[in-house]
A and B are shown apart, each in its own frame.
Chain A
């Protein structure tokens, strides 16, 4: 219970930072102040909070859990591909969005799309689709909070109470602090989990008698040696996963965050240091997840390994419910916490637990982004701001924060699916499929609102289709093949199209729709287009 007390103290500090520590007098534009911190974030805060915004429970708990089951492939699969694509997209797209936002006063990406493509309700459709796909991401935060507090308290704080506490804390500082509070909390949190990731690696390594021993033991055992390679996944799956990080810059909280930098120059260090930050967070998390396979003296981990063995040896003969139960037992989302609980002294486990909690609570930016989108893309656009004023707009945004948090919490209680699957299958693939919108808006003069609409509807429809497919076909099997070629298959992890993740055809078709439909329809006026292509 002592580690849980550290975490509660940490939550109190977070509320203080988010609500009180960096409060400023609200100026003439409360909306820009609340939603964008007045476009005034300095370099240090911009780098750390942007990185923290992109790291969620998924990065820490999800990656360790994935590595526990699948091995070291988790790092190249998710981290090193993101380390290339995310900073590259910040360099190419983030800087341009910042410049257009600064020049023309945009607060959300949809405001930019509406202006760039001279549209209104099409922008609303884009906003609604983006919002719908962001909700699962927020749910991850609530789930991660529940899982973390449950594990840190040794089961004394149930999942539903842990999730409620985390959701409440996030809601409080987003409600009161807006973007400024959120950015400073993220900065504090990123500093914590960068620091504690390294400490956790050392402490657990010493506790396990050195990683060298653990790795060599794994190497000598046929059942674990594959975890040190990439044998468990196919090269096609590996390749197709590089499409997933395309989602990053398309997440509304990321693109909105690009607008908060005080100067475009603040992107420079962010772009250069982002891969290093990825390395510092992901390498320890993945390595610990893999090494946990040798931590058989930890009872909870031993139980997971036994469940995995049973699943492998008797899985085919078991009923679906029994298989699901075993899968849940063998899931590794709490693996890092189990290691800390066993190997770190109580006080250190508490501090490290707080560090993990920092990563788990990164859903704040998503909640704020949805609130921003609602109040700017819907409330203000449909004349709510003109009728009720800018202060009412901010109040609306704050009320939205409360409503959204409650909805996300309720959904989190209903979805027992592992954190990682939920995120990848829905939000990440969907946002990747919307990448053509930003690229076309900023780099292709001939793009049109109808092309944007076609891409958006395709992204929404394909995400829904994958979700429906996976809910109907629940067991792995080939659904459609032509000769020896597997066109569509249900796999253990989700869906495969020609052996690739669905995100690949989703992105390619979305780009084709943007091109073909744009070429078939009338482009925006030259005056509008010329404002986006500075010579």
Chain B
């Protein structure tokens, strides 16, 4: 799926949050106890979850894990949730010493 379509879907969902059309309406009462505005936002929340699923499926930034090797997966398998991961030192930028004075 094209990235631009996903961006449009996100913007559309953001705009749909501003549902001024139910601003002053309580009725109909859905299921006998949910005001229509609240029911709308219940459905809206479920729609967000569906969009997130689509984002994860179609636009997952897998390249960020590239080059991490074992670090990317922890290298220890999933059985032991607390197996240590390799330590990486905080890098020193080329002019860190100069920068520290700012």
Give A contacts to B, CB under 8 Å: 22, 24, 27-29, 32-33, 37-43, 45, 72-73, 75-76, 79-81, 83-84, 87-88, 91, 95-96, 98-99, 102-107, 111, 114-115, 118-122, 180, 210-212, 214-216, 219, 225, 228-231, 235, 238-239, 242, 262-264, 268, 271-276, 278-279, 283, 286-287, 449, 524-525, 527-528, 531, 534
Partner of A219, one of B26, B72, B89: B26
Q: Which residue of A lies closest to B83 (CB)?
A: A40
- Asked if A121 and B24 sit within 8 Å, CB to CB, the answer is no
Q: With both chains docked as a complex, state the minimum distance between the C-beta of A157 and any C-beta of chain B, in angstroms.
A: 34
* Nearest residue, chain A, Cβ from B14: A84
A75 and B44 alpha carbons, distance in the complex (Å): 11
Q: How many residues of B contact A (CB 8 A)?
A: 62
A72 adjacent to B68 (CB under 8 Å): no
CB <8 Å contact, A72 and B33: no
The reply to whether B49 and A102 form a contact with Cβ atoms under 8 Å apart is: no
A528 near B93 with CB under 8 A, answer yes
Q: Could you jot down 25 A-B contacts, CB within 8 Å?
A: A27-B84, A33-B84, A38-B82, A40-B83, A42-B81, A72-B38, A75-B38, A76-B17, A81-B17, A83-B49, A84-B14, A87-B52, A104-B88, A104-B91, A120-B99, A215-B33, A231-B23, A263-B72, A272-B52, A274-B52, A283-B42, A531-B91, A534-B63, A534-B64, A534-B66
Q: Give the residues in chain B near A33, CB-CB below 8 Å.
A: 84
For the A-B complex, the count of residue pairs with Cβ-Cβ distances under 8 Å equals 202
Q: A235-B20, A262-B85, A534-B66 are in contact. Are A279 and B38 (CB under 8 A)?
A: no
Q: Would A118 and B84 count as touching, CB distance under 8 A?
A: no
Q: Which residues of B are found within 8 Å of A531, using beta-carbon distances?
A: 91
> Which residues does chain A contribute within 8 Å of B66, judged by CB atoms?
534
Q: Are A115 and B91 in contact (CB under 8 A)?
A: yes
Are the C-beta atoms of B73 and A84 separated by less than 8 Å? Answer: no
A225→B29 CA distance, assembly (Å): 12
With A and B bound together, what is the CA distance between A102 and B75 in angstroms? 13
Residue contact B45 to A118, C-beta cutoff 8 Å: no
What's the Cα separation between A104 and B90 when bound, in Å? Answer: 5
Q: Are A268 and B93 in contact (CB under 8 A)?
A: no
Sorted from nearest, which 9 A-B pairs have the closest CB atoms?
Answer: A120-B100, A228-B26, A105-B88, A42-B81, A99-B64, A211-B33, A212-B32, A228-B35, A275-B49
Asked whether B18 lies within 8 Å of A229 as measured between CB atoms, the reply is no
Asked if B85 and A38 make an inter-chain contact with CB atoms under 8 angstroms apart, the answer reads: yes
Q: Does the CB pair B32–A76 fall under 8 Å?
A: no
Q: Contacts A83-B45, A119-B99: A229 and B60 contacting too (C-beta < 8 A)?
A: no
Question: Is B4's beta carbon under 8 Å from chain A?
Answer: no
Q: Which of A80, A83, A88, A103 has the most CB of B within 10 A?
A: A80
User: How far, in angstroms, from A210 to B42 measured CA to CA in the complex?
Assistant: 20
Interface pair A115/B61, CB less than 8 Å apart = no
Docked CA distance A96–B62 (Å)? 10
Given contacts A114-B96, A229-B37, 20 further A-B contacts (CB under 8 A): A40-B83, A72-B37, A76-B19, A88-B55, A96-B61, A103-B67, A104-B88, A105-B90, A115-B90, A219-B29, A230-B37, A235-B18, A262-B85, A264-B65, A279-B45, A283-B38, A283-B42, A286-B38, A287-B38, A525-B94
Contact A229 B26, CB 8 Å, known A99-B64, A211-B33: yes
Query: In the bound complex, how far is the Cα of B32 from the Cα of A216, in angstroms?
Result: 8
Chain A residues with CB under 8 A of B14:
84, 242
| B32 touching A45, Cβ below 8 Å | no
